[in-house]
A = this chain, B = another copy of it.
Amino acid sequence: MAGAEPTTTGPSAAGPSAAGPTAADIASLRAALNGHLLVEAGDMAPFLVDYRRRWTGRAIGVAEPRSVAEVQAAVRWCALHGVPVVPQGGNTGLSGGSVPDASGRALLLSLRRLDRVRNVDPSSQTLTVDAGVTLQRAQEVAEEAGLLLPLSLAAEGSCTIGGNLATNAGGTQVLRFGNARDLCLGLEVVTADGELWDGLRSLRKDNTGYDLRDLYIGSEGTLGIITAAVLKLSPRPRAKLAALVAVPTPAAALSLLGLAQAQLGSMLTAFELVSDTCLTLVLRHVPGTRAPLEPRPPWMLLVEISSSSDEEAAQAALEALLGEALEREYCSDAVVSGSGAQFEAFWSLREHISDAQASEGATIKHDISMPVSAVPGFIETMGTELARDYPSLQQVVFGHLGDGNLHYNLSPPADGSLDKPAFLALEPVLNRRVHDAVAARRGSISAEHGLGVLRSAEAARYKSPVERALLRSVKEALDPRGLLNPGKMFASPEDSNP
């Protein structure tokens, strides 16, 4: 792992490296930022540790620009002084992409104070916001305009639009609306030398050059600093219903998915697979929850349907689907949400899996994807092999079946027979087994969480030399001095454990 050594010592105590900026240089940075610079260790600390508290870094300071001009000034100052820049949004990433390393050489550039809503255009169904606007606030602004921003994540209260786009965030509505990438029409970006690229277009069609927008999206701050974006909004559905469905196997779930897609088309807005182990953890740790289906099936689906017409039509379509699925024996039981509260309760079971797993102690997580048709075989083979070789581990498997995206997680034995260090010592070898099997199915070892420092070496291991060379050449073209978020996304395959 390329993570930094834990430290709580800020640069005001230890100072940057010998070749780093002088006190006068820092003063010029502070002036360029109109004073919006933190340098005290206590002030900087929350910005220097990641959300999972797995990586802690150091920095020469934390810049909090209030304007795009201040972002440019900070980046120019960094370019002048050869100082690395680590951009950060809500700091909710799961792969360590938004914190600096332990060298203390970098400037942490927080975009959170850049948080204006710039424009809402209901006729064009677009919303233009600064990078630091939180996802939840963007959702609310869209709702006030009678529209929907169809991006939804657990961290939406604090994650930012800039971070969502820098990591191409996923979530629960990808099946219908795509990833963050698919919701973005235009970007404004500060380049590595502090220039401003105004790609803030609201166009559904534009073929006048290479797709710079999609190059910056998902680049985790290593090619430029996103300062604003135009987001694509959708009509709000008039009715939303959910069903919990008992399925015997992942293969049956896949058959049901095909039937649902054929019958419901774009009315199908979520198709989540949950193993009974996941449900067991939720029932154990989350007060007020109860099993929705008895007898408890080995697998459960959460199927969501949205309709632009009335609720009756949605209900009829969902019941027709479930009737047909029962007849074909794709499922053995199902319950449809009868009210808004029940709809929320169904989703609550799904959304509490991560929390419930955290309550079991340490976790080993895999955010994988593969062709949808390969998922049942993967689950069966990997599940059998891991149960044979690690019989006491709890397999906490759930995910977005409609996207071929699984959260293939593991927890220590429920009986406490393996302590945390012993469990975590298994991580490299378990990562290798899971990811090798994913690669054999032409899948991805990071479906929606990005590479950061967590997965960069492993990603390099699974990529061809041709692809690695292409990625490096793009990096060198747009950030020739390597000052933008260094150490993220790129690593040597030899650095991957075990």
Contacts and interface: CB of A to CB of B under 8 A. Distances in A.
B205 A179 contact: yes
A124 interface: yes
Given A206-B369, A370-B203, A181 B308 contact: no
A212 B466 CA distance: 12
A204 to B, nearest CB: 4
A449 interface: yes
Given A308-B263, A444-B208, A477-B473, A203 B371 contact: yes
A489 interface: yes
Number of copies: 2
Interface in A190-212: 191, 195-212
Contacts of A369: 203-206
A218 interface: yes
Contacts of A371: 121, 124, 126, 202-203
Contact of A209 (B182, B203, B463): B463
A402 to B, nearest CB: 8
A444 B199 CA distance: 12
Contacts of A455: 208
A383 interface: no
B210 A471 contact: yes
A209 B471 contact: yes
A466 B258 contact: no
A145 to B, nearest CB: 11
A17 interface: no
Nearest to A168: B207
A217 to B, nearest CB: 7
Contacts of A126: 371
Given A201-B442, A265-B235, A477-B476, A447 B207 contact: yes
A125 B372 contact: yes
Interface residues of A, number: 99
Interface in A299-336: 306-309, 313, 317
Contacts of A374: 124
Contacts of A443: 203
A123 B370 CA distance: 12
A263 B235 CA distance: 8
A471 B207 contact: no
Contacts of A202: 371, 442
B446 A207 contact: yes
Contacts of A400: 205
A450 B207 contact: yes
A437 B217 CA distance: 29
A449 to B, nearest CB: 7
Contact of A223 (B179, B210, B475, B489): B210
A404 B205 contact: yes
A125 B261 CA distance: 10
Interface string A250-284: 00001001100111111100000000000000000
A267 B204 contact: no
A373 B127 CA distance: 13
B447 A205 contact: yes
Given A201-B444, A261-B235, A373-B121, A217 B211 contact: yes
19 contacts: A123-B254, A123-B257, A124-B373, A124-B404, A146-B262, A170-B207, A175-B204, A195-B466, A197-B470, A204-B403, A207-B451, A208-B444, A209-B471, A215-B215, A236-B262, A265-B306, A474-B477, A474-B478, A476-B477
Interface of A: 121-126, 146, 167-168, 170, 174-175, 178-179, 181-182, 191, 195-212, 214-215, 217-219, 223, 234-237, 254, 257-258, 261-267, 306-309, 313, 317, 369-374, 400, 402-405, 442-451, 455, 459, 462-464, 466-467, 469-471, 473-478, 489
